[in-house]
Amino acid sequence: MNVGQPSGAGHPNAGLAAGDTLDRYELLCPLAQGGMAAVWLARLRGKHGFQKLVAVKTIRPEHAGDQRFQRMFLDEARIAASITHSNVAQILDLGEENGVLYLVMEWIDGDSLSKLLRVVQRAGQRVPLGVALRILADACGGLHAAHELRDDSGQLINVVHRDVSPTNILLSNKGSPKVIDFGIAKAMGRLAEETSAGVLKGKISYMSPEQALGRSNVDRRADVWAVGSILHMALTGAPPFRAENEVLALHRLTSGKPPDPLPADVPPQVRAIVAKTMAFNVDQRTPDCATLQAELEQAMVACNCLTTPADVGLFAAHYLADSARTRQELVQRSIAAASDRERGGRPRMHSAGTPSGFSPVAPRDTSSSGALGAGSGNGSGRGNASASSSGLVSPFAAASNPSMPSMPATRLEPSFQRWNTAPTGMSAKERWIVTAAVLVTALFVGVVGAILYTAVMRWHGSKVEPATTSPTTTTSATR
């Protein structure tokens, strides 16, 4: 469905649950939720058994009737859908079903950079220099593609992400970074109002000084600063401007003082990159992400740490093995539950009702795994110095979320129960009726066959017996 302006109809308390469908997309399970939106794992099904996993992003029910949130949602769709780059999450579709706006995105089987940094730090290690440089160099390629977006007349629309952070960089299982969540991106022609002066949007830990000061002339160099801040974080294990609270961190950021020093073992080439990307004076900063990408590539050569995406994938797989296994089990359970619903003849179509897609959970984990950002900003315009302004929650544990599907039948169950879960397209009751009919028919055929066999044998015996004469009878006749 082509959505131009939000309709604003049919939104109140429109709840979603596993098994609901939005046009061609069947919702399988919730992946993440933020202040503005929720992200679902879903599947697109077609003819001849075709199916494809996707991520579906929807506005949360409590904001579904808010025109401001709808405009932000549509802005994100328009901006992100225009970007064609392997390091930006691909937008596949935009639609509206019964008043519910939804955005369909590629399913990224992986975890966020923030989660990788956190797990490595918990292990008492640091991300290898080559891995950090490769991830950020590739992310710069995606950001530069966004910055270079133009309208139909060829004029730059001046896209600025404004929320580049480890949370909004997903790493696929092949080691390819994907920039996500353009929900608060700045661009010409947005439907939503531009951020007012003095209002913060984004994460303070990775926010440029001019953005933190609420200036209206923020450009692509704000995203350059953010990439430099992420590199600083990867090298030190802490935000560039550490402080006891957000207010002090914001004061340090806007004071013009340099960030916290880097470890002594950081090569000079990398030090120079961090210093230039995080220059307080915008005119002294690295001019764009294409230049920064080239500098990061050159640093890998100079530091003798050339790294490929495959190397990144192997490194991430080592530290995120548990997360990957949990995610795979979640996907398998969700698909199995969907198949059970289909066999039971209970397809669901979305309708208005009480929200049932999520259990109440606190935003304890800000990384999004295998999904896309659930929405940046809370609509209030307040800044957020935590790891994520979206407050994403990734409820992968089925035990902690009653909306998650249960495990399918295991191989230890009796053979009849395994057969009962076979994809026959019939309900369980219909299958047992067919089974009983087959058994009765077989029994009937067997009994009739036995009766016929006995009758034939008796008839055959009556024909043969008179022609048989014993030796005693023959002797008597001769005499």
Q: How far is 101 from 60, CA to CA, in rounded Å?
A: 10
Closest-CA residue to 205 (of 260, 158, 160): 260
Secondary structure of residue 290 in the 3-state scheme: helix
Residue 95's CB is within 10 A of a number of other CB atoms, namely 18
Tokens for 49, please give them. 């058994």
Integer Cα distance of 3 and 94 in angstroms = 7
> Which among 93, 111, 138, 163 is annotated as catalytic?
163
Q: Are 121 and 233 in contact (CB under 8 A)?
A: no
Tokens standing for residue 185: 């991106």
The answer to whether residue 163 is catalytic is yes
How many whole angstroms separate alpha carbon 225 and alpha carbon 289? 10
The two three-digit tokens of residue 455, written as one number? 């009758």
Q: Token pair for residue 206? A: 């990775």
Which 3 state secondary structure label does DSSP give 316?
helix
DSSP, res 154: S
- Let me know: does 17 contact 29? Beta carbons within 8 Å: no
Contact (Cβ atoms closer than 8 angstroms) between residue 72 and residue 65: no
Computed on alpha carbons and rounded to an integer, the radius of gyration of the chain in Å comes to 32
Nearest to 107 by CA among 330, 320, 321: 330
DSSP annotation string for 338-357: HHHHHHTT------SBS--S
3-state secondary structure of 414: coil
Active site residue ranges: 163
